[in-house]
Structure 1
Amino acid sequence: MNAETKPESLQEAGTADDKPALVFRDAGIKRGERIIWQHGNFSIPSGSITAIVGTNGAGKTTMMKAELGLLPLFNGSLTVLGGPAGTTNHLIGYVPQNYAGDIESNLTAEQSVLLGLTGTRFGIHPVTRAQRARAREAMSFTGVDDKRHYRLSELSGGLRQRVAIAQALVSGPKLLMLDEPLANLDLAAQRETVHVLARLNHEMSMTIQVVAHDLNMLLPILDSAVYLLDGHPHYARMNEVLDADLLTHLYGTKVQVVTTPQGDMFVTPDPDEPEDITPDIHNPDEVAGFHRHHAENREQEAEL
């Protein structure tokens, strides 16, 4: 993002508008001759937090790469922040799954965050005072400002993840995309990361998209989810996300949704407990209807 378009402060960065952040219209992706997913028809509202969920190989990271314009569609269209995919990347902050592995371990946390502004290793272009102040603001927001002089190799996985978020945040994006940000973190670090995402959304109205295997930790902050099932993306709003049938189909094992004092969550039965579940043989049309069945049941009950 250049100096003319960059927000004056992080608080101005993610302000949502009334237009959808992402719009898929019959979108499809291939790898060689293999169709990864197709018939993507949905939109994601601005200012929302959405999870991308699916089993290994379903195409979760592929979806993000398509949104960044790194992979071409073989069919349909994909609009991101009002423009074709790949044309609005200056408004997107991206945190890859292997962030720590991609950055030299001898960089300090502050140097790593500054890469989000300079895009280069140091010694080529001098860092300005304004850039350093911007990095400090991003690090303060994510709670790692006191670690700015530590090398990444000296930080825990949770702290490195928050440094990665600060690096993505420092340029003032309107859309923040994270690929498995909670993977390999302990519960305390997961909670800290989720708390940062919640603040970004609530205080800046930032649109956030998270690739995730396990939704339980994210449930308190989610507005919606995109399920990748049977090679088709299925969008579900928050009141439809916790659908036992849909989750059972997704994870390939029986899933139960339970209510706890901390809120709704989903669980799978203990492996030692007998299961009366038969192999899943739903076709794509049935799956597409799964996330609507609760609403339909309520309508039927109302009629009775």
Structure 2
Amino acid sequence: MNAIEFDKVTLTYGGRRVLSDVSFSIPQGAFIGLLGANGAGKTTMLRAILGLIKPAGGAISVLGKPPTRGNAAIGYMPQARRALGDVGISGLDFVLSAVGGHRWGWPIPSSAEKEAAWKALEAIGATDLARRPLGELSGGERQRILIAQSLIGDPQMLLLDEPLISLDAAHQRAIIELVHEIGERLGIAVLFCSHEINPLLRAVDRVLYLGNGKAAIGSVDEVISGPVLSKLYGTHINVVRVAGRIFVMADDVELESGAHVHDL
């Protein structure tokens, strides 16, 4: 069974057509890098998979069924909010807030809910963060807490929306390795949204690249090529490979440069 299937799907958002007549499938257990420039439709696609946006055309299948809101089979990590670091609650309480919809500390969580939260923290090796306030955690540690929250309920799929934003290279590698290990251990599909391919090169099975309302899926070499990306972007694109890194260029400007703002 495929984890996700899009059959001639058209998505609109704010009156704008974001994706047009897009078809692809993602098998269970695959680690997919979801790529594309700002405004390409990455977050809109994730929202459609979550059942938050209905297609304007075509059909979506998620784990063999139409998308539904609140699907417990999907673990979802939204883009991290800067305000998260200002919250004084502990890592455990934050993870617990996803178990039964609690507002931190009220109502009092049950023993089963506490067990589920600890299980999620143990799954990512973050029990040492359980009692620490979120405001004292580094960007990488906060991302680990958000990943733990997405694992509540033993999901069959993970959707991660830009988990590398604001992280330096070392923390990016740690998050990618963690998510890759979780996906392999649980045998579940991972859709990992990112601005840039280079951090993901050693982890992804395939890439799903969005641009100009279209989508291309395949191996890194198949998709991140001049002809394919030129068609997606609607302009001439050069793909340059240097020392194991990939640079996507348009008119001598690197399209992915400045995609991430790093913590100091």
Shorter-chain-normalised TM-score: which range?
0.7 to 0.9
Cα distance in 2 for partners of 1:158, 1:100 equals: 13
Query: Does residue 1:257 correspond to 2:241, yes or no?
Result: yes
- In structure 2, what is the equivalent of residue 118 of structure 1? 100
The answer on whether the counterparts of 1:100 and 1:160 sit within 8 Å (CA) in structure 2 is: no
Q: How far apart are 1:88 and its partner, in Å?
A: 7.0
CA distance in 2, matches of 1:58, 1:196: 27
Long gaps (5+) in structure 2 = 254-264
Find the aligned partners of 2:232 and 2:45 in 1 and give their Cα distance: 17
**Stretch deviating more after TM superposition (129-138 or 164-173):** 129-138
Aligned residue runs from structure 1 range 1-304, under 5 A = 19-86=1-68, 89-99=71-81, 101=83, 105-247=87-229, 254-258=238-242, 260=243, 264-267=244-247
Structure 1 residues 153-186: Cα deviation after superposition (integer angstroms, max 9, x where no partner)? 1100100000000001122111110110001101
3-state DSSP of counterpart to 1:170: coil
TM-score (norm 1): 0.75
Of Structure 1 and Structure 2, which has the larger fraction of its residues in helix?
Answer: 1
How many Å separate the matches in 2 of 1:180 and 1:76? 26
Identity %: 33
Offset at residue 188 of structure 1 (A): 1.3
**Residues 52, 210 of structure 1: 8 Å contact kept:** yes
Tell me if the contact between 1:54 and 1:250 (Cα under 8 Å) persists in the aligned partners: no
- 1:68-107 C-alpha deviation (Å, 9 max, x unpaired): 1111111001011111112671101111113453687111
Tell me the CA shift for residue 268 of structure 1: 5.2
- Offset of residue 191 of structure 1: 1.1
Distance 1:31 1:198, change over 3 A: closer
Q: In the aligned structure 1, how far is the partner of 2:18 from the partner of 2:198?
A: 26
Q: Which runs of 5+ in 1 are unaligned?
A: 1-18, 278-304
Deviation at 1:215, TM superposition (A): 0.9
Q: CA deviation at 1:137?
A: 2.4
Say which structure is richer in strand.
Answer: 2
In 1, distance between residues paired with 2:219 and 2:200? 14
Aligned-partner SS, 2:108: coil
Contact 1:54/1:60 (<8 A) preserved: yes
Contact preservation (8 Å) 1:68, 1:86: yes
CA RMSD of aligned residues (A): 2.4
Q: Report the Cα offset of residue 40 of structure 1.
A: 0.9
TM-score of the two chains, using structure 2 as the length reference: 0.86
CA contact (8 A) 2:85 2:135 kept: no
Corresponding residue for residue 6 of structure 1: none
Residues in 1 aligned to 2:177 and 2:68: alpha-carbon distance in whole angstroms = 29
Preserved CA contact (<8 Å) 1:243 1:257: no
Superimposed CA distance per residue, residues 247-303 of structure 1 (whole angstroms, 9 cap, x where no aligned partner): 566677532124x5xxx431357x9xx95x9xxxxxxxxxxxxxxxxxxxxxxxxxx
The number of residue pairs the alignment matches comes to: 251
Distance 1:201 1:24 in 2: 21
